[in-house]
């Protein structure tokens, strides 16, 4: 069974993330969506809120597992026998950071490959940060995130 890990903060999950999840399932038997608990970042949503949003917007089959993780991604990949780490590339500007991380992960977990996937063109400019900025000012985010996420962002920013 080919297992891949798709890591990220998912703060919040966007339609671009969901597109990469769909693409990952075309390539791998099982996908672990690993929500990073990074103490250096200040997420808008708690770990439990992000977990709930990701679970609610992904296939509930046995092909997807959603979890919170902290620590090194390479260690998680080894523990879960993942053959791949999925990372999204939206633009050339993403490549330098992602390339550096892929090389380090290869060094730490040589049996795990990093697979770069490009989202559908209409999602290439999306990021969770941009979505939060638009939502903060009550902008229209309906085309960028699932309905549940839109509602939670409006609640967070006091528009509901």
Domain boundaries, the chain: 3-123
Residue 62's pLDDT is what?
A: 85
Do residues 21 and 58 lie in contact, with contact meaning Cβ atoms separated by under 8 Å?
A: yes
For every one of its 160 residues, what pLDDT tens digit does the chain have, with 9 covering 90 and above? 999 999 999 999 999 999 999 999 999 999 999 999 987 889 999 999 999 999 999 976 789 999 999 999 999 999 999 999 999 998 888 899 999 999 999 999 999 999 999 999 999 889 999 999 999 999 999 999 999 999 999 999 999 8
Residue 40's pLDDT is what?
A: 82
- Return d(Cα 124, Cα 151) in angstroms, integer: 23
> CB within 8 A of 32, min separation 6: which ones?
3, 4, 5, 6, 64, 65, 66, 67, 80, 82
> CB within 8 A of 75, min separation 6: which ones?
108, 109
Tell me the pTM: 0.95
Cα–Cα nearest to 147, from 1, 12, 10 = 12
How large is the angle between the packed helices 128-136 and 147-156, nearest 10 degrees?
50
Q: Catalytic positions, please?
A: 17, 41, 90, 128
- Return d(Cα 113, Cα 38) in angstroms, integer: 23
Residue 132's pLDDT is what?
A: 97
Residue 140's pLDDT is what?
A: 97
Homologous superfamily (CATH) of 3-123 is HUPs (3.40.50.620)
Do residues 144 and 17 lie in contact, with contact meaning Cβ atoms separated by under 8 Å?
A: no
Residue 85's pLDDT is what?
A: 98
Tokens 């939670």 belong to which residue? 152
- Return d(Cα 88, Cα 120) in angstroms, integer: 11
Widest CA span in the chain = 48
- Return d(Cα 58, Cα 81) in angstroms, integer: 22
């Amino acid at each position: 069974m080919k297992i891949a890990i798709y890591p990220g903060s998912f703060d919040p999950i966007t339609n671009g993330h969901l597109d990469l999840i769909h693409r990952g399932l075309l390539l791998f038997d099982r996908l672990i969506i690993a929500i990073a608990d990074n103490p250096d970042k200040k997420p808008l949503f708690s770990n439990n809120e992000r977990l709930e949003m990701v679970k609610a917007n992904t296939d509930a089959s046995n092909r997807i597992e959603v979890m919170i993780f902290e620590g090194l991604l390479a260690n998680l990949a080894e523990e879960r026998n993942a053959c791949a780490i999925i990372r999204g590339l939206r633009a050339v500007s993403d490549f330098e950071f992602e390339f550096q991380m892929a090389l380090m992960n290869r060094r730490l977990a040589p049996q795990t490959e990093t697979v770069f996937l490009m989202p559908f063109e209409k999602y290439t400019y999306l990021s969770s940060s941009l979505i939060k900025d638009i939502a903060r000012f009550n902008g229209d985010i309906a085309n960028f995130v699932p309905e549940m996420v839109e509602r939670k962002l409006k609640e967070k920013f006091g528009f509901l």
